[in-house]
Structure 1
Amino acid sequence: MATQSAQEINVQSPVDYRNLDAPIYSWDAIPKCQLGMTGSEATLPEHIAEFQKILRDFAINVARPIGIKLDRMTPEEVIAKDSHYWEFRKKYLELGVTVEALGEMEPQEAALLFSILFEELGYGDAGLAISVGAGILPQWLCAKFGRKDLLEEFPDEVLGCWGITEPDHGSDMLDPSRSVVYPGSSYGRPNLVADLTGDDIILHGQKSAWVSNGVIADVCIIYCAADSGDGPSASDGCALVFPMNLPGISRGKPLDKLGQRALNQGEIFFDNVRIPRKYLLAGPEDYQRAVYCIHAEANALMGATFTGLSQAALDLAIDYAHERVAGGVPIIQHQSVRSRLFHMYRKVEVSRSITRRGLNFNNDPQQGTPSLCTAMFSKTTGTQNAFEVTSDALQIFGGNGLTKEYPLEKMLRDARASLIEDGCNEVLALKGGSYLIDNDKLS
Structure 2
Amino acid sequence: MSFQLNEEHEAFRKVVRDFAEHEIAPHVREWDKAHHFPVDTVQKMGELGLFGLNAPEEYGGAGGDFTTLCVAIEELGRIDQSIGITLEAGVGLGINPILTFGTDDQKQRWLPDLVAGRTIAAFGLTEPDAGSDAGATRTRATLDGGQWTVNGSKAFITNSGTDMTSVVTVTARTNDPAEGGRPEISAIMIPAGTPGFTVEPAYDKLGWHISDTHGLTFDDCRVPEENLLGARGKGYAQFLAVLDDGRIAIAALAVGLAQGCLDLSLRYAKERHTFGVPIGARQAVAFSLSDLAVSVEAARLLTYKAAWLKDAGRPAAELKQAASIAKLYATEAAVTATRVATQVFGGNGFMEEYPVARFYRDAKILEIGEGTSEVQRMLIARGLGLPVQ
Shorter-chain TM-score above 0.5: yes
Partners of 1:232 and 1:166 lie apart in 2 by: 21
Partners of 1:243 and 1:254 lie apart in 2 by: 19
Which position in structure 1 is the counterpart of 2:151? 204
Structure 1 segment 249-398 matched on structure 2, within 5 A? 249-365=197-313, 367=315, 371-398=319-346
Structure 1 residues 372 and 385: alpha-carbon distance in aligned structure 2, compared to 1, 3 A threshold: same
Of 143, 154, 165, the match for 2:99: 143
2:49 paired with 1:96: yes
The answer as to whether partners of 1:119 and 1:304 remain within 8 angstroms in 2 is yes
The answer as to whether partners of 2:123 and 2:168 remain within 8 angstroms in 1 is yes
Structure 1 residues 285 and 227: alpha-carbon distance in aligned structure 2, compared to 1, 3 A threshold: closer
Q: Report the more deviating stretch, 339-348 or 91-100.
A: 91-100
Per-residue deviation, 1:88 = 1.7
The C-alpha deviation readout for 1:200-244, integer Å capped at 9, x for no partner, is 222101112x11122222211212322268558774301123312
5+ unaligned residues in a row in structure 2: which ranges?
none
Partners of 1:70 and 1:247 lie apart in 2 by: 31
Structure 1 residues 162 and 384: alpha-carbon distance in aligned structure 2, compared to 1, 3 A threshold: same
Which position in structure 2 is the counterpart of 1:213? 159
| Corresponding letter in the other structure for 1:112 | T
**Counterpart secondary structure, 1:371:** helix
**Counterpart secondary structure, 1:171:** coil
The answer as to whether partners of 1:226 and 1:234 remain within 8 angstroms in 2 is no
| Corresponding letter in the other structure for 1:97 | L
Partners of 1:424 and 1:118 lie apart in 2 by: 20
| Corresponding letter in the other structure for 2:109 | E
The answer as to whether partners of 1:224 and 1:234 remain within 8 angstroms in 2 is no
Partners of 2:124 and 2:236 lie apart in 1 by: 16
2:120 paired with 1:165: no
Per-residue deviation, 1:368 = 5.5
Partners of 2:181 and 2:223 lie apart in 1 by: 19
Q: How many residues align?
A: 375
Per-residue deviation, 1:310 = 0.8
The C-alpha deviation readout for 1:169-202, integer Å capped at 9, x for no partner, is 11211xx4xxxxxxxxxx5xx4311224653222
The C-alpha deviation readout for 1:301-323, integer Å capped at 9, x for no partner, is 11011110111110000111111
Which position in structure 2 is the counterpart of 1:36? none
User: What TM-score do the two structures reach when normalised by structure 2?
Assistant: 0.88
Structure 1 residues 433 and 275: alpha-carbon distance in aligned structure 2, compared to 1, 3 A threshold: farther
Which position in structure 1 is the counterpart of 2:89? 134
**Counterpart secondary structure, 1:142:** helix
Which position in structure 2 is the counterpart of 1:71? 32
2:17 paired with 1:61: no
The answer as to whether partners of 2:153 and 2:215 remain within 8 angstroms in 1 is yes
Partners of 2:292 and 2:33 lie apart in 1 by: 28
Question: How many percent of aligned residue pairs carry the same amino acid?
Answer: 27
The answer as to whether partners of 1:307 and 1:382 remain within 8 angstroms in 2 is yes
| Corresponding letter in the other structure for 2:291 | H
| Corresponding letter in the other structure for 1:89 | V
CA RMSD of aligned residues (A): 2.5
Which position in structure 1 is the counterpart of 2:6? 44
Structure 1 residues 196 and 234: alpha-carbon distance in aligned structure 2, compared to 1, 3 A threshold: farther
**Counterpart secondary structure, 1:412:** helix
Which position in structure 1 is the counterpart of 2:376? 428
Partners of 2:280 and 2:177 lie apart in 1 by: 67
The answer as to whether partners of 1:318 and 1:341 remain within 8 angstroms in 2 is yes
Per-residue deviation, 1:64 = 2.9
The answer as to whether partners of 2:152 and 2:219 remain within 8 angstroms in 1 is yes
Partners of 1:311 and 1:235 lie apart in 2 by: 42
Q: Name whichever structure is richer in helix by fraction.
A: 2
**Counterpart secondary structure, 1:272:** strand
Partners of 1:278 and 1:369 lie apart in 2 by: 32
Q: Report the more deviating stretch, 377-386 or 95-104.
A: 95-104
- Higher Cα Rg, which structure: 1
Of 148, 153, 163, the match for 2:109: 153
Which position in structure 2 is the counterpart of 1:34? none
Structure 1 residues 224 and 423: alpha-carbon distance in aligned structure 2, compared to 1, 3 A threshold: farther
Partners of 2:182 and 2:85 lie apart in 1 by: 26
Partners of 2:62 and 2:46 lie apart in 1 by: 22
| Corresponding letter in the other structure for 1:117 | A
Per-residue deviation, 1:101 = 5.0
Structure 1 residues 67 and 163: alpha-carbon distance in aligned structure 2, compared to 1, 3 A threshold: farther
Structure 1 segment 107-126 matched on structure 2, within 5 A? 110-126=65-81
